[in-house]
Amino acid sequence: MGSIKQIPVVEAKRTNPLARVFDDLVRFCRSRSLFILHYCTGCGAIELPPAMTSRFDMERLGIQPMVSPRQADILLITGYVSIKTLKRVILTYEQMGSPKYVIGICSCTVNGGMYWQSYATAKKLDEYMPVDLYIAGCMPRPEAVIAGLQQLMDKIHSGEASSWEDYYRNYDYYLGNQQKLFGEDWQTPTDVISEAKHYDLLSEGTLGDHTRLLEQHQKPLEALEMRLGHEQEEPAK
Amino acid sequence: MSKEITHWLDDLLAEIEGIVVRRKSSRRVRVDVPADALPALLELLQGRAGYIHLSAISCVDWIKEDEFELVYHVWSYESHSLVSAHIRIAREPGVYLSVYDLYQPAAFFERDIHEMYGIHFEGSPNMEKFILTEWDGPPPMRKEFDSEAYINEHLSWQNYNPEWLQELVAEGGGVIIPPEEQRFSQKKK
């Protein structure tokens, strides 16, 4: 009789026969309740009020605007992103809870559109953050926006919309592009590498030269000072 | 009444040396003055003719003539007319006087021009960055700044890939415009 250690250990498999059904159900529910972050860049945002309100009525698809990035699922990039805006967009994107989806609306997010020659706008959005879907046009009509959102819903339901995982898996690539544009000392308050570990998505592309550079320049974050009322502290004498 | 004011304005402007007045229409006057006479002109317009509103300062870079042109647009609420005072200053060193003491809104216009063209205004209260707070390149509106070279160096580029659009076209949507029809410069005549 061999010892108990010789018994081969079979890795735990999902034994629940209903797991796939549950996964499908979860994805179905997820695709039917989407919150769009109320963050609009550029001019394409003008097509969103008609898409949201009674004429085209986004809410019949279960899509609503949401004011805070922590509770939102979709980040809509509606038009050109200037380099100043892009920094804020990346901060916002990293603050959103996973799973999160990015839609690039208008031709400016594809290649700069009519601002192709401008020094102030970023040209390819998918270099700085993973994009699930582009809705091309200058600018796309609400019908196109709705059709794009429906396509995103289908992709979420089928499990194809997994670009947020790509951000964790290839964080080094995205960070490298961000550093190239914003300078070497670029850092965001979100600890993306720890999040990647949390989601069990740490892979070869997560760490690399650029994350090492980030560690060198990273300054520890300081907690915000809390003050009550409008009193101002007198300077020490 | 407005006619009277117009005649009176012409008399007033004639007081300044080296001035060229061109009346564009009944409510619009173009004035070219030497750079050192501009503060006196604005003081006259503001103090004696009621041009109390400085609506804009614009700047033009004439790189071949090695000069900057500054245009001061002043508006009168009494005669409902606009005077545009044009001056030319040398491109190097690109320094001029601030008119902040006459028109306080000039602070913003001068700060903006300083940022975009690199002209320094002496006596302006604040010459810090205004809109391009995170920009450390040269002033971008100067003609010698090559925007296309800058983006080629700093940003990558992708074509509006036709293959990428084929899917849409197959579904009956999308419009493919060939590049020779997109850009006016490439159009066949």
Q: Which helix (H) or strand (E) holds B114?
A: helix B106-117
Q: How many CB pairs under 8 A join A and B?
A: 47
Per residue in A61-118, pLDDT tens?
999 998 899 999 999 999 889 998 999 999 999 999 888 999 999 888 888 888 888 8
Query: pLDDT per position in chain A (237 positions), as tens?
Result: 456 666 665 566 666 777 778 888 999 999 999 999 978 888 888 889 999 999 999 899 999 998 899 999 999 999 889 998 999 999 999 999 888 999 999 888 888 888 888 888 888 888 999 999 988 888 889 999 999 999 999 999 998 888 899 999 999 999 999 999 888 888 888 889 999 999 888 989 899 999 999 888 888 877 777 777 665 555 655
Interface residues from chain B to A (CB-CB < 8 Å): 132-135, 137, 140, 145, 147-148, 150-151, 154-160, 165, 168, 174
> Which chain A residues have a beta carbon less than 8 Å from that of B165?
136
> Which chain B residues have a beta carbon less than 8 Å from that of A128?
none
User: How much is the pTM?
Assistant: 0.80
- Cross-chain residue pair A112–B133, CB shorter than 8 Å: no
Q: What is the set of domains in chain A, with CATH numbers? A: 18-161 (3.40.50.12280), 162-218 (no CATH)
Question: Which residue does chain A place closest to B133, by CA atoms?
Answer: A84
A146 contacts A62 by C-beta, under 8 angstroms: no
For A81-232, where are the alpha helices, taking DSSP H only?
83-95, 108-111, 142-158, 163-169, 171-182, 192-198, 209-217
Domain layout of chain B by residue ranges: 2-156
Q: What average pLDDT values come out for chain B (189 residues) when binned by 10 residues?
A: 65 78 87 90 87 94 94 92 93 91 92 93 90 87 87 77 71 65 57
- Cross-chain residue pair A136–B148, CB shorter than 8 Å: no
Say if A122 is an interface residue toward chain B (CB within 8 Å): yes
d(CA A192, CA A128): 14
Domain B2-156: top CATH class = alpha beta
Question: Which residue does chain B place closest to A117, by CA atoms?
Answer: B148
